[in-house]
Amino acid sequence: MNLLRALLMRREAGIAVMIILFCLAVGLYKPQFLTLNSLRIILLLVPLIMIGAMGQMLVITARHVDLSIGSIMAVAAMASGMMFRFAPEIWWPLGFALSVGTGAVLGLFNGLLVTLFRLPAIIVTLGTLNLYRGLTFIMSDARQIDRQYVPSALKAMSQTSPIFGIPWIIFMMFGVALLTYWFAMHSRMGRQIYALGSNPVAAPLRGIDVTRVTLVVFAISGALAGLAGIMYASRWGFVNPSNTGNGFEFQVIAAVIIGGVSINGGSGTVLGTVLGVLLLGCVAAALPLLGIPGAAQNSIYGAVILVALLIDRLVRRQGLKAMVGARA
Amino acid sequence: MTVQPLLSARGIGKQFAGVEVLRDVDLDLMPGEIHALLGENGAGKSTFAKIVAGVHRPTRGSLTLNGKPVDVASPIVAQRLGITLIHQEPISFPDLSVAENLVLGRHDGAALSRVPWAAMTRDARALMDQLGVTIDVTRPMRGLSIADQQMVEIARALASDSRLIIMDEPTAPLTPKEVATLFTIARRLRDEGRTIVFISHRLEEVRALCDRVTIFRDGNKVATDTIAKLTDTDIIRLMIGRQVNEYAAKQAHALGDVALAVTGLTSPGLFRDISFTVRKGEIVGLGGLVGAGRTDVARALFGIAPAASGSIAVNGRAVTIRDPAQAIRLGLAFVPEDRAQAGIFRTLPVDHNITTAVPGRIAPRGWISRMLERALANDQIAKLRIRLAALRQPIGELSGGNQQKAILARWLLTDPQVLILDEPTRGIDLGVKAEFYEMIGALAADGRAILLISSELPELLALCDRVLVMAEGRLTADLARGQATQETIMQAAVPRAARAGAAA
């Protein structure tokens, strides 16, 4: 009973309830939504967002934001795609190393701008969002990497499964989430990220190397965006300089915010972020089923974020009232 | 053989932007004593504490810890040396658990080394038990009472085995019961041989808790003695015993009708039952220590944070003031204490800053006339002798005194009948101060009612027709010009349990 209450008190409970209510509501109207097959569809929609969201969660927890991840994803995917086109015989897993490395370097560049010049991350990454997107065009001569250049073993990761018919990329996304969980909750650096976001003024007074933590956070966000880039190539089988990663940052930040990560830094959980991503996935899977045209999807996404934030605010205000009442 | 001091300060001096705030302080802190630092606001006691704790670097002088010279370069160094400063409202990480707050910054370790949650929680529980407080160490800091946050800070000092724990006005936000708990723990720590430095304004607390006391005045250490040897009167005399600076005393002139009358103004937790009047042409001073509630009264009068009960009358007419716009319409003006935060628009030019409260006068037909704006601003700049490079200069580039003049100019343009000045001369150099005093006198002679909040006793004495004194949210004295002296004001300003009891 106590355990149940403790679970319900957690912020994640609210998101879980939202997911269940949403699925039941859709299921009432379209029963086929409540099948294993649609779970498969949902899970296949979200791996890239999930991986991007893990990095973004850390960045937002440190009281920054990374708007450039969509462009980083594109540069990283394009780098690997060009490598595959140039050297078709190359050992394909090298693409992972190249994309993740490229992403980490670009993320580090963001971090350097933020720390060296004390610029707000929202401005820096808005700039690099465009800078990196332009880089994609320059390096590729605005040419798409077509299907035949993407190694079939890489593409197979999104289709073939080691077990239970669940494709590799779904295992990968949960693997990244678990690693992020360990890093955030059980490593010293992870806890320093939370401390920095919780009180940036006090952090240096307690011996936290703010520059280092900030650089690490942006590098991780970039590296994970790079990982999402190579997985994009796997999932869709092509890399396009203008489409790949376009609007990615919006979906990722939406998922993170829905997942209860405070934009004011200091609080955010991997579980909440995972649930936020899944809620977004449910909405994305339900829209076509409900016959909502693709053109309206962005509006629906936006509305979902606002509703989620509103519910969260109402819940928290109630919680606050309860607390104040208890003290008086 | 004598006991070696835990910490010896020799010749400590500190300047901030060329202003000397601490001069040549020698002080020995002994192991196993509770040592009080007393002094008026700005006397230098907090600056001294911050130098010892590594928050500020001294401009001059040296510190010796256990006989060895030390350079306390930062709060982290201080912590490693076993010196902890506990702020009145502790700095913490609200999203992290109590246990994490205790150890953060203490352990060095590789970035990816594991956080030992179980051991950390166990150690934190042990510390809380040692202090005899019941705080769940797994809960986040956010939402803990100030008293509990202070306990966590004390626990943190113990966790790093601090030998010197400095508490900067720890009791101000606490309830009497919490104060009693704090004192019990402070005594226990002393009996373990640790040194406690206790900064407070409350004499009865200092008397109850401390062994020795050091008194600061105007950046100098004026006395160190065992508390038993000093009477309250001695202490107050030592705190204020400076020469009264000779300012041009206010010209006497006839007073008019009552311009502002306040009756029973109360705002729970801030101030209670405040009643006074200010007549036209009168300068009424409002003295007291920082935190006595003076600024809160001013903010209530100006409608920034309206009082819960009580009445206000302006020119004999009862009014309710719900927001500053209404206060301005009624002829009130308020020059706030913290001009950086509440007074100036830092990046805007001087002329905008001056004319901002009178949009109607620079934009008679709805759009702003640059010519009118410039003329109006120039007029005020000449009148108040504001020194600046150009009218279009961002006001942030002006010196503090000239910024303050510009704010005064802004409010004079509204032709206020009641002018509330909150610490108008803080951080202003002496020459400009004298100009300010002249101006304030001239404004009163012009028939305006002035309420002057000031922590500087000479200022109150030189300027005011009457001095009101507040302590802990209540008016404790209403002194006519003849009665007001540094002693009478301080006697009323220092909170004492006896008086609080008598007034209740």
Average pLDDT over residues A38-58: 93
d(CA B335, CA B346): 16
Please indicate whether residue A310 or residue B190 has the higher confidence score (pLDDT): B190
Q: Give B153→chain A minimum CA distance, Å.
A: 13
Interface probe, candidates B86, B93, B136, chain A, greatest A C-beta count within 10 A? B93
Verify whether the Cβ–Cβ distance B76 to A267 is below 8 Å. no
Sign of CA dihedral A204, A209, A211, A214: negative
Supply the pLDDT for residue B347: 83
Supply the pLDDT for residue A77: 96
Angle (deg, nearest 10), helices B117-131 and B146-159? 110
| In chain A, residues 10-49 whose CB comes closer than 8 Å to chain B | none
pLDDT > 90 fraction of chain B, expressed in percent and rounded: 30
Same domain for B287 and B217, yes or no, is: no
Sheet with B195-199: strands ordered across = B83-86, B164-168, B195-199, B34-39, B212-217, B220-226
Supply the pLDDT for residue A4: 61
d(CA A143, CA A226): 19
Supply the pLDDT for residue A320: 46
B251 located within any domain? no
Q: With contacts defined as CB-CB under 8 Å, which chain A residues touch B109?
A: 188
Please indicate whether residue B311 or residue B17 has the higher confidence score (pLDDT): B311
Average pLDDT over residues B149-165: 87
Please indicate whether residue B498 or residue A45 has the higher confidence score (pLDDT): A45
Same domain for B262 and B223, yes or no, is: no
CA B234-B237-B242 angle, to 5 degrees, is 150
Sign of CA dihedral A258, A260, A266, A271: negative
Listing DSSP states for B48-87 in one string gives HHHHHTTSS--SEEEEEETTEEE---SHHHHHHHTEEEE-
Which residues have a Cβ under 8 Å from the Cβ of B415 and sit 6 or more positions away? B331
- Compute CA distances A64 → A113, A186, A188, A265, B333, whole Å: 13, 21, 19, 8, 40
Q: Give A266→chain B minimum CA distance, Å.
A: 6
pLDDT > 70 fraction of chain A, expressed in percent and rounded: 92
Q: Give A202→chain B minimum CA distance, Å.
A: 6
d(CA B116, CA B123): 11
Mean pLDDT estimate for chain B: 85
Verify whether the Cβ–Cβ distance A199 to B110 is below 8 Å. no
* Residue of B92, B95, B105 lying closest to A208 (CB–CB): B105
Query: Is A321 a residue whose pLDDT tops 70?
Result: no
- Collapsed DSSP state (helix, strand, coil) of residue B116: coil
Same domain for B149 and B295, yes or no, is: no
Query: Is B21 a residue whose pLDDT tops 90?
Result: no
B2 located within any domain? no
Query: Is A165 a residue whose pLDDT tops 90?
Result: no
- Which residue bears the tokens 């009457």? B466
Q: With contacts defined as CB-CB under 8 Å, which chain A residues touch B117?
A: 186
Same domain for B232 and B279, yes or no, is: no
Same domain for B445 and B499, yes or no, is: yes
B94 located within any domain? yes
Interface probe, candidates B84, B87, B95, chain A, greatest A C-beta count within 10 A? B95
Contact status of B73 with chain A (Cβ, < 8 Å)? no
For residue B285, the enclosing domain spans 258-503
Banded model confidence at residue B427, pLDDT cuts 50, 70, 90: low
The per-residue pLDDT for range B399-421, each reduced to its tens digit, is: 777 888 888 888 888 888 999 99
A16-30, A62-76, A107-121: which range is least confident on average? A16-30
- Could you tell me which of B462, B426, B459, B463 has the C-alpha nearest to residue B444? B463
Contact status of B18 with chain A (Cβ, < 8 Å)? no
Verify whether the Cβ–Cβ distance B95 to A187 is below 8 Å. no
**Last residue of a domain, which of B206, B240, B274?**
B240
Closest-CA residue in chain A for B96?
A195
Q: With contacts defined as CB-CB under 8 Å, which chain B residues touch A206?
A: 75-76, 104-105
The gap from C-alpha B105 to its chain's centroid, in whole angstroms, comes to 30
Verify whether the Cβ–Cβ distance A199 to B117 is below 8 Å. no
Start-end of H helices in A118-209: 121-140, 152-156, 168-186, 188-198, 202-205
Verify whether the Cβ–Cβ distance B96 to A216 is below 8 Å. no
Same domain for B300 and B169, yes or no, is: no
**Last residue of a domain, which of B177, B208, B240?**
B240
B34 located within any domain? yes
Q: CATH number, domain at B284?
A: 3.40.50.300
Q: Are B110 and A188 in contact (CB under 8 A)?
A: yes
Query: Is A326 a residue whose pLDDT tops 80?
Result: no
Query: Is B108 a residue whose pLDDT tops 80?
Result: no
Which domains are assigned to chain A? 10-323 (1.10.3470)
Q: Are A219 and A72 in contact (CB under 8 A)?
A: no
Contact status of A297 with chain B (Cβ, < 8 Å)? no
Same domain for B352 and B491, yes or no, is: yes
| In chain A, residues 208-237 whose CB comes closer than 8 Å to chain B | 208, 216
Supply the pLDDT for residue A323: 44
- Collapsed DSSP state (helix, strand, coil) of residue A186: helix
B460 located within any domain? yes
Same domain for B181 and B265, yes or no, is: no
Supply the pLDDT for residue A217: 97
CB pairs under 8 A between A and B: 67
Which residues have a Cβ under 8 Å from the Cβ of B102 and sit 6 or more positions away? B120, B123, B124, B127, B137, B152, B155, B156, B159
Verify whether the Cβ–Cβ distance A191 to B96 is below 8 Å. yes
Contact status of A189 with chain B (Cβ, < 8 Å)? yes
Number of domains in chain B: 2
Query: Is B245 a residue whose pLDDT tops 70?
Result: no
**Last residue of a domain, which of B214, B240, B266?**
B240
Query: Is A68 a residue whose pLDDT tops 90?
Result: yes
> pTM here?
0.74
Reading the block at residue B304, the tokens are 């920034």
Supply the pLDDT for residue A315: 63
- Phi first, then psi, for residue B213 (nearest 5°) are -140, 140
d(CA B195, CA B185): 12
Q: Give B122→chain A minimum CA distance, Å.
A: 16
Query: Is A207 a residue whose pLDDT tops 60?
Result: yes
Verify whether the Cβ–Cβ distance A323 to B143 is below 8 Å. yes
Average pLDDT over residues B233-262: 71
Same domain for B170 and B25, yes or no, is: yes
B249 located within any domain? no
Average pLDDT over residues A244-258: 91
Same domain for B52 and B186, yes or no, is: yes
Which residues have a Cβ under 8 Å from the Cβ of B177 and sit 6 or more positions away? none
Q: Are B94 and A202 in contact (CB under 8 A)?
A: no
Same domain for B231 and B194, yes or no, is: yes
Banded model confidence at residue A318, pLDDT cuts 50, 70, 90: low
B457 located within any domain? yes
- Collapsed DSSP state (helix, strand, coil) of residue A65: coil
The per-residue pLDDT for range B52-77, each reduced to its tens digit, is: 999 889 999 999 999 899 999 888 88
Query: Exposure of B417 by Cβ count < 10 A (0-12 exposed, 13-18 middle, 19+ buried)?
Result: middle
Closest-CA residue in chain B for A266?
B95
Angle (deg, nearest 10), helices A210-236 and A69-86? 50
pLDDT > 90 fraction of chain A, expressed in percent and rounded: 56
Q: Are B168 and B56 in contact (CB under 8 A)?
A: no
Average pLDDT over residues B447-454: 92
Banded model confidence at residue A133, pLDDT cuts 50, 70, 90: very high
Same domain for B326 and B397, yes or no, is: yes
Supply the pLDDT for residue B179: 86
